Amino acid sequence: MNYERIQSILKSSRNTVCLLGVESSMDSGCFYYHDADGAMDVESEYGYSPEEMFSTIFYNTRTKEFFDFYRDKLLGHMGTPGADLKVLRQMEQDGKLNGIITREVFGLAKRAGCENVIELHGTVLKNRCPHCGKEYTMEYIKNHSGVPQCEVCHATIRPQVCLVGEMLDNATVTRAADLVSQAEVLLVLGCTLKSSLAGQFLKYFNGEQLILIHENEHYTDEKADIICYGKPRDVLPKIYQ
């Protein structure tokens, strides 16, 4: 294992950025609609695939079904930040981590106490009326039966997440790319280098060390400077003590 070498790099780095992959959210207990077993369960229960239900089409035309699915599968499986997220918080507090970039929508890093987090796909923790702009908590949506409507103007409240079929916010993507371009060390945690997250931002990295920590070997691993295999929740606490 490369524990000591990675620890030395992380503790001496002046600017580390983390790409936080899907393994971390899955291990934390979050719902993942690309999981084959989960997708089968959704289709059996609702008669539609998760991709169909978690879409702008369902939100706009089958709104009640959208929120039934959303409350049950997403808000009902928010997960709990694991040990790897707590290590990232400690790294940030120690001044060793300048930012986290993630595609997950469950707010894991922020719930763990991290502050500089770029959530590319938004977060279920934020909800807003698209008409008047009034904001609502996740608990308001979770505890509301049927279609949640704004208390002010009665429009349907919109979870602040990127649904299937929507484009990412350009300003958010640009901010993430700038963060990666300034990094001295890039920590890719819980995904392969071929993943959508890594594939989108690796081209902006001009730093010194690319550290990859994920569970299973992949043919793109050779692009990393240092590789460590294992679940992020198990590996990262052993590295950064």
Residue 178 contacts residue 171 (beta carbons within 8 Å) = no
| CA–CA separation, 206 and 120 (whole Å) | 21
Q: CA angle 62-196-177, nearest 5°?
A: 110
* Ramachandran category for residue 113: left, alpha or beta (phi over 0 → left; psi -120 to 50 → alpha): left
Question: Which class for 100: exposed (0-12), middle (13-18), buried (19 or more C-beta within 10 A)?
Answer: buried
Question: Which class for 106: exposed (0-12), middle (13-18), buried (19 or more C-beta within 10 A)?
Answer: buried
Tell me the two tokens of residue 68. 């039934």
* Total residues found in the chain within this entry: 241
Nearest to 123 by CA among 30, 188, 24: 30
Phi and psi, residue 206, nearest 5°: -120, 15
**Residues labelled as active-site residues:** 121
Distances in Å between the alpha carbon of 220 and those of 37, 188, 217, 235? Answer: 26, 13, 9, 20
